[in-house]
Structure 1
Amino acid sequence: MMEEQKLEWTCHECRSKLPKVGNLNTPVRNLRECDTNAARSEEQATGLGNVTFRKNKSDGNQKAKVSQLPITGSHRKIDDSLVSAISEQVHKVILLELPGIISNIMKTELLSIKEDLQDFRKSIDFISTGYDEMKITVDKLIKDNLVLYNENDALKSTVAGLSERLNTLEQHLREENVEIQGVPEHQNESLPKLLEQCSRVVGCSFKEEDVIKCTRVAKLNKESKLPRAIIVKFRSVRKRDEFYSAVYRYNKSNPNDKLNTSLLGIGGDKKSVFVSEHLSPTNKILHAAARQKAKELGYKFVWVKNGRIYVRKMEGSHYIIIKNRESLGLIC
Structure 2
Amino acid sequence: MALDDFMSKLDVMLESKLNDLKISIVDDFKSTFLLLQKEIQSLQESHTFLSAEYDDLKKEVQSHKHTITDLRRENAGLTKQLNICTTKINQLEFNSRSCNIEFQNIPENRNENLVKIVKTICEKVSAPIQDENIVACRRIAKLKASSQRPRNVLLSLPTPRYRDEILSAIYRYNKVNRTDKLNTQLIGMPGNKIQIYATEHLPAEIKDLHAKSRALAKQNGYKFVWIRYGRILVRKTDTSKPLCIVNEDCLKNITS
**What's the TM-score once normalised by structure 2's chain length?**
0.76
Match in the other structure for 2:80: 157
State the distance in 2 between where 1:201 and 1:149 align. 56
Distance 1:149 1:159 in 2: 15
Secondary structure at the counterpart of residue 244 of structure 1:
helix
Cα distance change of structure 1 residues 83 and 233 upon mapping to structure 2, 3 Å threshold: farther
Shift of 1:243: 1.6
Deviations 1:107-132 (A, max 9, x none): 43344445544554554454345445
Partners of 2:21 and 2:213 in 1: CA distance? 99
Could you tell me which of 124, 127, 134 is aligned with 2:50?
127
Distance 2:224 2:62 in 1: 56
Kindly name which structure, 1 or 2, has the bigger radius of gyration based on alpha carbons: 1
Contact 1:177 1:278 in 2 (8 A): yes
Range 230-239 or range 92-101, more displaced: 92-101
CA distance in 2, matches of 1:215, 1:121: 87
Residue number in structure 2 paired with 1:277: 200
Q: Is the 8 A contact 2:127 2:166 kept in 1?
A: yes
The superposition leaves residues 106-165 of structure 1 with CA deviations (integer Å, 9 ceiling, x where unpaired) of 343344445544554554454345445444544543444444344333323322322222
**Alpha carbons 2:224, 2:234 under 8 Å: kept:** yes
**2:23 is the alignment partner of 1:100:** yes
- Is this contact kept in 2: 1:177–1:233, CA < 8 A? yes
The separation in 2 between residues aligned to 1:183 and 1:136, in whole angstroms, is 68
The reply to whether residue 323 of structure 1 matches residue 251 of structure 2 is: no
Q: CA deviation at 1:240?
A: 0.6
Q: How well do the aligned residues superpose, as a CA RMSD in angstroms?
A: 3.6
1:185 positional shift: 3.2
In structure 2, what is the equivalent of residue 193 of structure 1? 116
CA distance in 2, matches of 1:112, 1:247: 102
Measure the CA separation in 1 of the matches of 2:213 and 2:31: 87
- Equivalent position of 1:252 in the other structure: 175
Report the 3-state secondary structure (helix = DSSP H, G, I; strand = E; otherwise coil) of the residue aligned with 1:231.
strand
State whether residues 98 and 201 of structure 2, in contact with CA within 8 Å, keep that contact through their aligned partners in structure 1. yes
Map of 1:171 onto structure 2:
94
Alpha-carbon spacing, 1:228–1:91, altered in 2? closer, same or farther (3 Å) = farther
Q: SS state of the match for residue 263, structure 1? A: helix
Q: Structure 1's 296 and 154: CA in aligned 2 closer, same or farther, altered over 3 A?
A: closer
Amino acid at match of 1:101: S
Distance in 2 separating the partners of 1:113 and 1:290: 77
Greater RCO (CA < 8 Å, at least 6 residues apart)? 2
Q: 1:304–1:110: structure 2 CA closer, same or farther, 3 Å change rule?
A: same
AA paired with 2:202? L
SS in 2 for 1:326: helix
Counterpart of 1:302 (choices 192, 204, 225) is 225
Report if the CA contact (8 A) 1:310-1:319 is conserved.
no
Distance in 1 between residues matched to 2:69 and 2:236, nearest whole Å: 45
Matching residue of 1:141 = 64
Residue from 157, 169, 177 that aligns with 1:234? 157
Q: Within 2, Cα distance between the matches of 1:130 and 1:328?
A: 46
Cα distance change on mapping 1:108 and 1:311 into 2, 3 Å: closer
The answer to whether the Cα contact below 8 Å between 1:198 and 1:264 also exists between their aligned partners in 2 is yes
2: CA distance, partners of 1:96 / 1:321: 103
Any idea what the Cα deviations from partners look like across 1:245-284, whole Å, max 9, x if unmatched?
A: 2222332333333222333444443322111222334433
- Work out the CA distance in 2 between the residues paired with 1:132 and 1:313: 57
5+ residue gaps, structure 2, are none
Q: CA deviation at 1:236?
A: 0.6
Give the TM-score normalised by the residue count of structure 1: 0.61
| Deviation sequence 1:159-208 (CA, Å, 0-9, x none) | 23222222322332232222211123344544333322322333322122
Q: How does 1:43-122 map to 2 (within 5 A)?
A: 86=10, 88=11, 91-117=14-40, 119-122=42-45
